[in-house]
Amino acid sequence: MSTTFTMPNRQLTWLITGCSSGFGLALTNMVQSHGHKVIATSRNPSRTPELVAEVERKGGKWLKLDAEDPNCADVIKDLESSGQQIDVLVNNAGSSIHACVEQFTEEEVRRQMESMYFGPARLIREAVAHMRIRRFGIVVNMSSGAGLEGRETMGAYAPAKAALDSVSKILAKEVSEFNVRVLIVSLGAFNTNMVNAITTSKNPMPEDYKGSIAEKTINAMGNGSFNPEGDKEKAVKAIYEVVMGEGVGAGRQGERFLPLGRDLAARVKQVQDQYSHSMEVFGDICNNVYRDS
């Protein structure tokens, strides 16, 4: 589904989370190279002083933002109060923990939801309040194929992504009439540090799962045999152009879902086929559960 939006003809200010590496850093570089202002954020800016200096040398800012902090939206509130409006919010920061569903601790699941859903949702609520009043803004939520159809061991990560996807779809319907756009970027596997940053549950895997697909999936991620084919630089270029309505994004500014990656395309097809199959099998039942007139 698409909607018509108008873009101002001026420099835009982007606030991007998770900029110390991967997609966040690549997108920061891309946006700055096109003359826009970036407010980059990360959990610990002191760990990447060279990156901070480079972004600020190009006219940007680098701020501390921890999505798990209940007060993380104060970063946007303070910027807006000082007269620095946010035109584009990119929720990119995140982490992932992998294990069997029954293996996770309550704390592990809650922390994953904090960083991947509650944190971004706080930022969205604060940013959109200002965008709505100005009648312009763009929210970009970096998601994953896991949000569409999670694989084994993604019992904490996939629900968090699915929750962010769901609120993105609802938000898009609510704010489109205010010229505020919401874009879900659904990523396949790309050449970032995400694989190396994966953690596992502190609980041991139950013996029954030894040799299962779940164990093999975790082992593949941990032993370096998983080698993503996706090129993050090409993906970032596409993201920038779709957000700005330039290049491959020309005429597509109103689109709400941007899938990126051959593996993601296969995941989308899988989900489509699953729903089609369910309707073929249960369609007659689905349409025969109404009260008699």
Closest CA to 147 of 96, 181, 106, 197: 96
Quick check: 142 pLDDT over 90?
Answer: yes
pLDDT bin (cut points 50, 70, 90) of residue 126 is very high
Q: Please say whether the beta carbons of 78 and 54 come within 8 A.
A: no
For 124, the 3-state DSSP assignment is: helix
pLDDT bin (cut points 50, 70, 90) of residue 191 is confident
CA 153 remoteness from chain centre = 19
Q: What percent of the chain has pLDDT over 70?
A: 97
Instruction: Give all domains of the chain, ordered by start, each with its CATH number.
Output: 13-283 (3.40.50.720)
Question: Known catalytic residues?
Answer: 143, 157, 161
Quick check: 64 pLDDT over 80?
Answer: yes
**Quick one: which H or E segment has residue 27?**
helix 22-33
Quick check: 222 pLDDT over 80?
Answer: no
Quick check: 198 pLDDT over 90?
Answer: no
Closest CA to 147 of 172, 112, 119, 173: 112
Instruction: Give the dihedral of Cα atoms 15, 20, 21, 27; nearest 10 deg.
Output: 20
pLDDT reported for residue 282: 98
Range with lowest mean pLDDT among 188-197, 242-251, 281-290: 188-197
Mean pLDDT to the nearest integer, 95-107: 95
Structure tokens at 218: 């975790």
